[in-house]
Each structure stands twice: as structure tokens, then as C-alpha cells.
Amino acid sequence: MIVGAYCNTPLLYDPLKKEAVVPSHAIKRIALLTGGGDCPGLNAVIRSVTKTAMNDHNIEVFGIEDGFLGLITNRLRLLRNSDVSGILNIGGTILGTSNRDDPFRFVQTESGQKVIGDVSDTVVSHYHEHKLDALICIGGDGTLAIANKFSQKGLNIIGIPKTIDNDLCETDYTFGFNSAVAVAMDAIDRLHTTASSHHRVMVIEVMGRYAGWLALASGVAGGGDIILIPEIPYEIDSICQNVRQRNEYGKRFSIVVVAEGAKSKGGEMVFQKESEKPEESRLGGVGNVVGRQIEECTEIETRVTVLGHLQRGGSPTAFDRLLATRFGHRAVEILMQRKFGHMVALKGTEIFPVPIEKAIQQLKLVPLDHPLIKAARSVGTSFGD
């Protein structure tokens, strides 16, 4: 037996691998945070991580309040079984979250002026002050990009991918996406009946940021007649022609599903709010633009519904509950294997560790030859091109 540098923990030598193996009891205390926008399934992950760590490995688990802001302001609390029981089906996050508090670009007010500074060393100090052995970060590309920077600063980081946008590379699905699709699909179903009754065009704007996964999946599932996504710039004349043809064929209503990041050919995305900081820019309003243009060129009454944060709220679907539970369990497993700097990812039916750095290199956009686009075109769906 030899003695390792990690807290004087004994290292066992594995003659087959010809390397020292850190026994599982080297990890005693971990923390987890939820960052970025909320979504259904976050509590399911918190539950899975906490119970797996405590029940299988006798590890203390601390919850960090309000994402990285909680690490900046040193707000951590010990999680117990009672804290994470009965939360599997509850939306949101019991820890709170924030999508504005990047420790590497933290906004503070000094002498009445807003100043951007780097407080990442404060986070590192709090990490060591609480004698944490690892930090599990649950979030999308923004949260994981910050987590990756802390990994480079020497913290032991494990990532869990979350976003209703499903735009993270290296994983087939993120939890939260399926629940958001279900909400949007239900809304489209309901709009069908009122659109049919009044012979109107119904435009429904969904989230998704710069990727069209949410609009594509909910639009196809809800039987949308026209689906507009960022990856396929639209032509308003093509949309109007499609609406007119439906009218001529006796289909006196149309459902248009619009991703918030959709844009016309040669045009720009529509923002409610633009900022130099990408995380503070807010997409939205393209549904109203498209709706107004359709009504003007077809003279058919058009109504617009913006789903907004309805897509983030409510209970997770069965799929997201299962995926979140598996992600949480697997995250603890790779943590015990000391595969730090990695994120759990769903590939097919299995969950594997992938480098966080690789997962955040670029957004996962909808390929133009995606099978769902091909299937949608075959059943008569237009993409406005």
C-alpha cells in the first residue's frame, strides 16, 4: 500500500491497470447547483444525486442556492433525505437558480455605477472553505461553460445537461425538453379547435433560442401546417401562398408554429431585448411579426399566441423523470470514478461521460436532413422555404 497526496488517503495499486486507484471513501462531501433557466426535471436530478450519494456512498451533499450566485455569496445548505423526498414530480428547483450571475463576469454596483469583475477566486475559496470534494453543475451551455472554467481552475466538476432547447452537443436529449414539447403540443392541440371554429390562422411562438428542436418536435406532434425554425430561413410569400392554398382546398384555418429564433431569408432574429451580454439578450416577437404579415397578405384573420414561460413550468413528463433520475445516478457514478471535467450524456439508450469542454464547443442545431424534417415534408408540412 502507498499513501496518496489526497488528504493522506491510502491508494491501492491495481496490477492489471498498473495504476493507483483512489478508493471510494476518498470523496466525503460534494455540492450541487442548478444554473440557467428552470425546467421540469431539475428536482428529479437533485433527488437522484442526493439519494445516490448518501445511500450508496455515505457522502454528504450540500445544495447551493440560486446557482453560481450561491457560491459567490456563500449560501450552501446540507441536504437530507427529507429535503429531497416527494420532489420527483415537482417542477422548478428547490435550490433556486440564476442565469445572470457569471462569477467570471459578475456585475456589482460601486459608487452607483455597475462594474463587471472577476470573482471566481471567491468561489474557489468558498469551495475549499466547505471542504468540498466535487461540485455537480446542472445546467445548459452557459452553466456548463462556467463549470468548465472552474474545472480549469482546479475544481472537481461533474456536469448534468439541462435545457428545454435540447441544443447541447454530445447528448441526444437533455431533460426538460420532452416536458416543454408536451406543453407546446397541448397548446397547439387547443388552438386547432378555436382556429377551426373561427376559420383563422393561428400563430404560436415557442422557445428554443437559436435552435429549432422545440418548434420542430412540438409542431410535428401537434400537426402544425407551417413550422418556422432558425435553421431554415423563411419567405413570407411562401407562407402566405401555403395558407391561401389550404383555403382553396377547403381547409379554412392554418396552424403556424414559430421558433423564437426564426428569421426571414436575409433578415435578422427578433429580440425583445438586446444586450452586449448574450445571456441578457432576450429573443421574442417574431410570432407577432409573422402574424401581422400573414394577415396583411392573405386578408385572413390571424391571431398570435406566445407560450413563453409556460413551457418551463409544471411537472416533468415520465420521460424527463426517468432521464433526470438516470442522469443523477450516473453523475455520482462517474464522480466516484473521479472522471472530473465530464458531463453525463445520453447516446441511444445508454448514458456515457463526455468532456464538458467538447459539449460546449458549439450549439447543436437541427440538421437540414434530419429525419423529422423529411417526415414532416412528406405529410405536407411547410417550413416556409
Position 76 in a domain: yes
Asked if 186 and 280 sit in the same domain, the reply is yes
Q: What range does the domain containing 66 cover? A: 2-175+316-348
- Partnered with residue 353 across adjacent β-strands are 344
Domain count, the chain: 2
Residues in the chain: 385
Asked if 196 and 334 sit in the same domain, the reply is no
Asked if 85 and 171 sit in the same domain, the reply is yes
Asked if 59 and 35 sit in the same domain, the reply is yes
Q: How many CA atoms lie within 13 A of 318 on its CB side?
A: 0
Residue 299: partners with Cβ closer than 8 Å, 6 or more residues away: none
Chain segment 222-272, per-residue pLDDT in tens = 999 999 999 999 999 999 999 999 999 989 999 999 999 999 999 999 998
Q: Of all helices (H) and strands (E), which one includes residue 245?
A: helix 236-248
User: What is the per-residue DSSP string for 35-59?
Assistant: -SS--TTHHHHHHHHHHHHHHHH--
Position 15 in a domain: yes
User: What is the per-residue DSSP string for 156-201?
Assistant: -EEEEEB-TT--BTT-S--BTHHHHHHHHHHHHHHHHHHHHHHT-E
Q: Which region among 98-112, 117-131, 200-214 has the lowest average model confidence (pLDDT)?
A: 98-112
Position 128 in a domain: yes
Which position has the grid cell 405529410?
A: 379
Asked if 190 and 132 sit in the same domain, the reply is no
Please say if the pLDDT value at position 298 is more than 80. yes
Asked if 256 and 118 sit in the same domain, the reply is no
Please say if the pLDDT value at position 17 is more than 90. no
Q: Which SS3 state, helix, strand or coil, does residue 382 take?
A: strand
pTM for this structure? Answer: 0.90
Q: What average pLDDT does this structure show over 95-124?
A: 90
**Angle (nearest 5°) at CA 53 between 72 and 43:** 65
Q: What average pLDDT does this structure show over 152-177?
A: 97
Chain segment 301-321, per-residue pLDDT in tens = 999 999 999 999 999 999 999
Position 156 in a domain: yes
Please say if the pLDDT value at position 127 is more than 80. yes
Position 208 in a domain: yes
- Partnered with residue 116 across adjacent β-strands are 107
CA distance 39 to 177: 8
**For residue 63, what pLDDT band results from cuts at 50, 70 and 90?**
very high
The three three-digit cell numbers of residue 243, written as one number:
395558407
Position 383 in a domain: no
User: What is the per-residue DSSP string for 351-379?
Assistant: EEEEEHHHHTSSB-PPPTT-HHHHHHHHT
Measuring CA to CA, which residue among 167, 164, 168, 206 is closest to residue 185? 206
Q: What is the pLDDT of residue 13?
A: 41
Q: What average pLDDT does this structure show over 46-52?
A: 98
Q: What is the pLDDT of residue 15?
A: 46
Asked if 183 and 114 sit in the same domain, the reply is no
Q: What is the pLDDT of residue 110?
A: 81
Chain segment 324-361, per-residue pLDDT in tens = 999 999 999 999 999 999 999 999 999 999 999 999 99
Q: Of all helices (H) and strands (E), which one includes residue 11?
A: strand 10-14
Asked if 37 and 78 sit in the same domain, the reply is yes
**For residue 186, what pLDDT band results from cuts at 50, 70 and 90?**
very high
Asked if 34 and 168 sit in the same domain, the reply is yes
Q: What is the pLDDT of residue 100?
A: 85
Q: What average pLDDT does this structure show over 125-154?
A: 97
Spacing of C-alpha 178 from chain mean position: 11
Position 292 in a domain: yes
Position 102 in a domain: yes
Asked if 264 and 244 sit in the same domain, the reply is yes
The three three-digit cell numbers of residue 94, written as one number:
428547490
Q: What is the pLDDT of residue 114?
A: 85
Asked if 246 and 266 sit in the same domain, the reply is yes
**For residue 112, what pLDDT band results from cuts at 50, 70 and 90?**
confident
Here the CATH number for the domain that contains residue 148 is 3.40.50.450
Which are the catalytic amino acids? Answer: 165
**For residue 21, what pLDDT band results from cuts at 50, 70 and 90?**
very low
Here the CATH number for the domain that contains residue 283 is 3.40.50.460
Asked if 320 and 296 sit in the same domain, the reply is no
Residue 4 phi, psi (nearest 5): -90, 170
